[in-house]
Structure 1
Amino acid sequence: MATLRDTAENYGSLTDAEAEWLALLTSDWQIIADLSFADLVLWRAVDDGFVAIAQCRPSTGPTVHQDDVVGTMAAAGRIAHLQKALDEGGIIASREPRWDDTYAVREDALPVIMEGRAIAVLTREVSQAVSRSSSRLELNYKGAADDLLHMITRGEFPVATSVTGPRRGAPRVGDGVLRLDAAGHVTYASPNALSCFHRLGVTGSLMNRSLPRVTSELVHDKGHIDETLAMVVMGRAAWRTDLEANGAALSLRAIPVTIHGDRTGAVLLCRDVSDLRRRERELITKDATIREIHHRVKNNLQTVAALLRLQSRRVQAPEAKEALAEAMRRVSTIALVHETLSGTLDELVNFDDLAARSMRMAAEIASPGVQVKIVREGDFGLIPAQYASSLALVITELVTNAVEHGFEGRDLGTITVTSHRENERLSVTIADDGVGLSAEPSGLGSSIVRTLVENELSGQITWRATGSGSAVELEVKVSEER
């Protein structure tokens, strides 16, 4: 997908600063389109006229352009209007509406100023097909839009520190609009905005009331007030914050209105995000519960491993002692997975760290008298949590088997673990420089590995002899969905 800079540079190069300024403008101009009930089109001057490089449709009214205009040239009759805005540096209203198919379109043009120079032209295009009465809401919306458009002609909008986009319920024009004067008094509140504050417990009208004082009376716990709240409700900074009271939550965003750097007021957007915050708290509680469950399972498994260790000390038969040691190692491996899961909220596990710990533990337990060097090549990547235990058990069993049987009668040995990840497929090779492989293993450990690989991981496994030892190759599927 082409970026705004890619599109613009089809018609001439842009500096980094110009590209960033235009990107900031187009990331935040939906507010102006909605306040104006109008389409916005960004034009760039070229040798033979002007070309459209971006457009925005309003969500509060009908669009002028049914088809995208990006990449099209301005009609010959519009070039003089666009050039006049570029030369004179103000908002230039069209003298007469132009006709587009069967309806008239009224157009305003203005320059986009950055650091005192014009780098593009913006048009505001309003369809005359729908007759609008000059309601109080419409007059205030258009007044707020005019304030922001005039800031564009002075290079004061967009604001670099402004928070744009729908992050965690960022409000839009349709959610609620307030206009503030320089002292933070409400000069207009849309019906939706008034409803939002009524949910917080505000009674009566907001008109001519000090918004900082109103919000201060709502918040009972002064020690937990977001430090940005005062700046936002005063309209002093282009920030976002949340206001919670009486079981309701509002998301607030301020856009200061300035004239040559002097703040004259602000446009404040608000949205009721009570349900959104409630669901977030539920998810946080659920995640904390899941982590606690993993932590308790890990503790219980470690207790089981300790009991097996105590039991192995009391038995005399070598076979029973070995069987208990193997069971203890498998339980410890599963406990290690749950320990990893208890420390994260993600459903994906960084398996490289987990594999390194489980292989080191397996080598130490399997044959304490042998110094085993484990060499890692490649990455496992992120593995979905539901496959982590099975894969960890498989890797641990194979490393243990290599240590126990490959290095019998030796003091030193090397195991090389090679992993290759390609999307949802994972290939792993575990090779040793031991005594080699005379036949495919058939013990309990190899049976466990084969069952896990084929049934749990939808893969396949093969054993083979090499010139200097043996190797096990497995290929498994570790996608999030099966």
Structure 2
Amino acid sequence: MPTLRDVLLDRTGLGPEQVEWLHLLVGDWQLLSDLSFADLVLWVPDREGGWIAAAHVRPTTGPMVFVEDMVGLHQENTQRPGITQAYADRRIVREGEPRWREAMPIREEAIPVVREGHPIAVLTRHTNLSTMRTPSRLEVTYLATADALARMVAAGDFPTAGAPTGRRRGAPRVGDGVIRLDVAGTVTYASPNAVSAVHRLGHGGEVVGARLEQLVTGAVREQEPVDETLGMVLTGREPWRTEVQNRGVSVTFRAIPLSETGQRTGALVLLRDVSELRRRERELLTKDATIREIHHRVKNNLQTVAALLRLQSRRMTDPQARLALDEAVRRVGTIALVHETLSQGFDETVDFDEIAVRALQAAVEVATRDAPVSGRHTGSFGRLRAEDATALAMVMAELVHNAVEHGLAAVGGSVTVDARRGSDGADELLTVTVSDDGVGLPEGFDEATSGLGVQIVTSLVQDLRGSITWSAAKPRGTCVRFVARLRSVRGE
């Protein structure tokens, strides 16, 4: 199924500003659909001389009309005379007799979408009349507001380009609460959900007939922070959003100014009680802060262990014992490096390239000064889960250390770490190659009977569900390549 962008760019001759205007309209037209209790279909003139449906939305407040999606449907001018007339005359056209669709009487209206005085598309509104009854005051207000918005679309006054949107999470919808204001900011109608939200903020009196700005600001305690845009939103003068907090209750407000022939006639205000949403957000922030603090403390504890091992190493007279303790210090430091990086982030993933560069630099810096050694990192590790990062850091640190200590210590040279991300369809794969131009592998090298470092690497690669190979590099040196199967980071 084509997207709105596909249809607008591939099937029409609309310019960039006109395309952006239609994107703004579709981004906000759920509001019009819900107030109308009707399906909306956006029709744009295509290059073939007819009309093509570029977008379709269904109401959440009433029965839908089209079960199937209308996007991509092509219609000739003769099939849609109302659309053609609305486009040519720049006025709303309502068909006289209802259309029948699957035993449902459907009323259709065509609303021209105007941008800077020129029609660029047509919006059709399809209402299922089979469920119509004597409308309540809520339904009358919704329909009257929808008609006002439709006239603004036809006049090029809706949507509002460049309006600041504020925070999107928790944005109010029609079903959450609707307030209608007159030009002075007085409440002429408030839905039951809207009244409940205002009462939860602390206002105990009537809502209808009062000025919304006064009753909200009067209920908010002085010590509560107030958004500087609050007055403009609660009077309906600007198409902005704001949020009010009081007594542990958070309510978001969104204002949509209404106008007729360029003159402001009032406003529609949507509001939503987001207290539970904000509480969960605070819990998540607290959890994230706790996790980062745990990683920070683990890093500090590991550094303390490394310092104690380093002190113990200095007291050793046996060279082999001192070497073993120094290697333990290096390995503990590698794990601490991963936890340090995790303590600075906001989730349980790390950008491993930073760890790789630091580990490579550390290995090069401790190399013997008699034979200069350089390090190079190519490719990218990308972001990794914490479980994979710790094992991978250990593997890479061991391989780089071995390359510097055994391959390059006597002759000098360079060590290169290359990382490539890929996929085999089922898992994310990481291929890492550590190569040097040193003396190469010793005669009769067998990973199964090699030292502790090689055994650690082999075990950790198995934990990563991977494989590893050692081989001679050309023209000289050693090449170690391993492939790891990574845990997905998409859910993080």
TM-score (structure 2 length as normaliser): 0.92
- Report how far residue 176 of structure 1 moved: 0.9
Distance 2:298 2:74 in 1: 66
Amino acid in structure 2 at the alignment position of 1:6: D
- The aligned residue for residue 416 of structure 1 is 416
Give deviations 1:288-324, integer Å, cap 9, x for gaps: 0010111111111111111111111111111111111
Offset of 1:52 from its aligned partner?
2.6
2:36 aligned with 1:39:
no
Aligned to 1:470: 478
**Structure 1 CA distance, aligned partners of 2:382 and 2:271?**
42
* In 1, Cα distance between equivalents of 2:54 and 2:302: 61
Aligned to 1:236: 237
Of 432, 435, 438 in structure 1, the residue corresponding to residue 436 of structure 2 is 432
Output the CA distance in 2 between the equivalents of 1:357 and 1:73: 59
Distance change (3 Å), C-alpha of 1:481 and 1:6: closer
Residues in 1 aligned to 2:310 and 2:348: alpha-carbon distance in whole angstroms: 32
Q: 1:111 to 1:436 in 2, by over 3 A?
A: same
Q: Which residue of 2 aligns with 1:452?
A: 460
Instruction: Please name the residue that 1:158 is paired with.
Output: 159
TM-superposed deviation, 1:230: 2.5
Q: Measure, in 1, the Cα distance between the counterparts of 2:301 and 2:51.
A: 71
Q: Which amino acid aligns with 1:32?
A: L
Matches within 5 A, 1:104-183: 104-162=105-163, 167-183=168-184
1:284 paired to 2:288: no
Kept after mapping to 2: 8 A contact 1:428/1:473: yes
What's the offset of the Cα at 1:269? 1.0
Q: Contact 1:161–1:238 at 8 Å: present in 2 too? A: no
Describe the shift of the 1:254–1:358 C-alpha distance in structure 2 as closer, same or farther (beyond 3 A).
same
Distance 1:481 1:339, change over 3 A: closer
SS in 2 for 1:266: strand
Q: Which one-letter code corresponds to 2:466 in the other structure?
A: G
Distance 1:398 1:5 in 2: 49
Equivalent residue runs for 1:345-356 within 5 Å: 345-356=346-357
Aligned counterpart, 1:248: 249
Alignment equivalent of 2:468, drawn from 431, 452, 461:
461
Deviates more, 1:100-109 or 1:183-192: 100-109
Once the two structures are TM-superposed, the CA of residue 75 in structure 1 deviates from its matched residue by: 7.7
Q: Would the aligned equivalents of 2:166 and 2:240 in 1 still touch at CA under 8 Å?
A: no
Gaps of at least 5 residues in structure 1 are none
- 1:329–1:365 contact (8 Å) kept in structure 2: no
Distance 1:259 1:401 in 2: 78
CA 1:22–1:165: 2 relative to 1, 3 Å: farther
Identity level (%) = 51
**2:189 & 2:11 partners in 1: Cα distance?**
43
Residues 346, 370 of structure 1: alpha-carbon distance in 2 compared, 3 angstrom cutoff: farther
* 1:427 partner amino acid: T
* 1:69 correspondence with 2:70: yes
Matched AA of 2:472: A
Q: Deviations over 1:159-205 (max 9, x none)?
A: 12347799312111111111112222211110111112222222132
Aligned residue for 1:58?
59
The number of aligned residues is 480
- Structure 1 letter corresponding to 2:452: L
How far has the Cα of 1:262 moved from its partner?
Answer: 3.6
Contiguous gaps of at least 5 residues in structure 2: none
1:283-362 aligned at under 5 Å gives the runs 283-362=284-363
Q: Which moved more, 1:259-268 or 1:135-144?
A: 259-268
Contact (CA 8 Å) 2:384, 2:489: kept in 1 or not? no
Deviations 1:418-466 (A, max 9, x none): 1111141011111111111021351111111111111x21111111122
Aligned to 1:2: 2
Give 1:397's aligned amino acid: E
SS in 1 for 2:400: helix
Give the aligned partner of residue 95 of structure 2.
94
Partner SS for 2:80: helix
Letter aligned with residue 210 of structure 1: R
Q: Distance in 2 between matches of 1:78 and 1:137?
A: 35
- What's the secondary structure of 2:153's corresponding residue? helix
